[in-house]
Amino acid sequence: MIPVMRPWLGKEEADAAAEAVASGWIAQGPRVRKFEEAFAAAIGTPHAVAVSSCTAALHLALIAAGIGQGDEVVVPSLSFIATANAVRYVGAQPVFADVDLATQNLTPQTVEPHLTARTRAVILVDQAGVPADLDAMRALCDPLHITVVEDAACAAGSTYRGRPVGAGAELAAFSFHPRKLLTTGEGGMLTTPNGSIAARLRRLREHGMDISAADRHHSQQPVIEHYTEVGFNFRMTDIQAAIGLVQLRKLAEMVARRRVLAQRYQKLLSDISGLVTAGDPPYGETNYQSFWVLLPEEPAAGRDDLLQLLADAGISARRGIMAAHLEPAYADAKPSLPVTEQLTMHSLILPLFHQMTQAQQDHVVSVVTSALTNSMPAISVP
Ligand SMILES: *Cc1c(COP(=O)(O)O)cnc(C)c1O
């Protein structure tokens, strides 16, 4: 079976994890601190705060932005459900806006009609790794005192106007789930240029404590901690951070490899008329976290038929990005989102992973091509 994704892990990660275990300190400690410093340096932002997942990161970002009961937060429905759920966690109302077809991201044009006196934040997702136009969104939102939280879950290693994605955001949230590029098994990171926000995020991830357990442990004097507000246990472990430090060093190579494979897909699939493929926006470069294709209006095979054909050929593909407003959890929302619905119903994600071979890629291309065109005979004649 050709997987849709496979993390690129090796002996170095295994050794780093083993070293953390051997050190006797496996909860949040010195390796988490080192990973945060290395990640902040890689993004080019002053502060990075490690947490247990990107979902936790989004939750804390909204608390840090002061979002709560009675507030509205504009989000894309076309996203992993965690984006909308984070808004519900803080008691606010997610308001679904449509996306741009080429990038699958919110734009000022799709968000503006949904702004009300209650709108306090917009969660701007870099969907599938494709950078969203943050400056344009901030130009709309900053004058209205609406916080733009960047959901960069998929976008570690993508660039926006020449800088790493996340660098220009007041709050950006990253995921280290194995379905993304850089992985720690589970894990997430928040970045911010604001030191007092970073300090509050560090307290919130650890029960609201004013001094971390690790710092108390390393103190020479007895230290009595205080709990400044109701916080959470959203800590990352030092075992995860040890793996993350190795993965971060490999990130540029992961992105480069994915871009080579993605460009090869684009070339090999370019003969299928009407097929739209994932690509770079004019202002940045994607890490191709997912290589999605949107089927032509009149495909020879429907999306679900194509997924079945791929599965029959030993290829694990996925439906395109989900749409939260079509799920039972959000059934009360009945927004009109034509582009979101076109994308979620007629797109799919093709396999793309670091160690994918050209032969594997050719196999995927041949199944897709024969399903969508008549140019390839089902049985090749010698
Ligand atoms: C994966 C993902 C998340 C959730 O990340 P976790 O680390 O699994 O919590 C949130 N938003 C988007 C857009 C994602 O793709």
Task: Note the pTM of the prediction, 2 decimals.
Answer: 0.96
Domain ranges of the chain: 11-247, 251-373
With 80 as the cut, is the pLDDT of residue 89 above it?
yes
Find the 271 Cα to ligand 1 centroid distance in Å.
33
Q: Which atom of ligand 1 is nearest to the CA of 126?
A: 13
Q: How confident is the model at residue 169 (pLDDT cuts 50, 70, 90)?
A: very high
Q: Is 151 in the pocket of ligand 1 (CB under 6 A)?
A: yes
Closest CA to 57 of 192, 184, 237: 192
The pairing of beta strand 188-192 with beta strand 347-350: unpaired
373: which 2 tokens? 């065109």
Pick the CATH number of 11-247 from 3.40.640.10, 3.30.420.40, 3.30.750.24, 3.20.20.210: 3.40.640.10
Find the 216 Cα to ligand 1 centroid distance in Å.
32
Pick the CATH number of 251-373 from 1.25.40.420, 2.60.120.10, 3.90.1150.10, 3.40.50.2000: 3.90.1150.10
Q: Is 104 in the pocket of ligand 1 (CB under 6 A)?
A: no
pLDDT tens track for 177-202: 999 999 999 999 999 999 999 999 99
CB atoms closer than 10 angstroms to residue 341? 17
Active centre residues (catalytic): 180
Amino acid 347: pLDDT: 97
Amino acid 343: pLDDT: 97
pLDDT tens track for 220-246: 888 899 999 999 999 999 999 999 999
pLDDT tens track for 110-138: 999 999 999 999 999 999 999 999 999 99
> Which amino acid, one-letter code, is at 119?
T
DSSP string, 252-314: HHHHHHHHHHHHHHHHHTTTSTT-EE----TTEE---SSEEEEPPSS-SS-HHHHHHHHHHTT
Amino acid 212: pLDDT: 85
Question: Which of 4, 52, 80, 103 maximizes ligand 1 atoms within 8 Å of its Cβ, making it the mutation to test the pocket?
Answer: 80
Q: How many Å apart are CA 282 and CA 293, to the nearest integer?
A: 19
Place of tokens 């020879």: 300
Q: How confident is the model at residue 376 (pLDDT cuts 50, 70, 90)?
A: very low
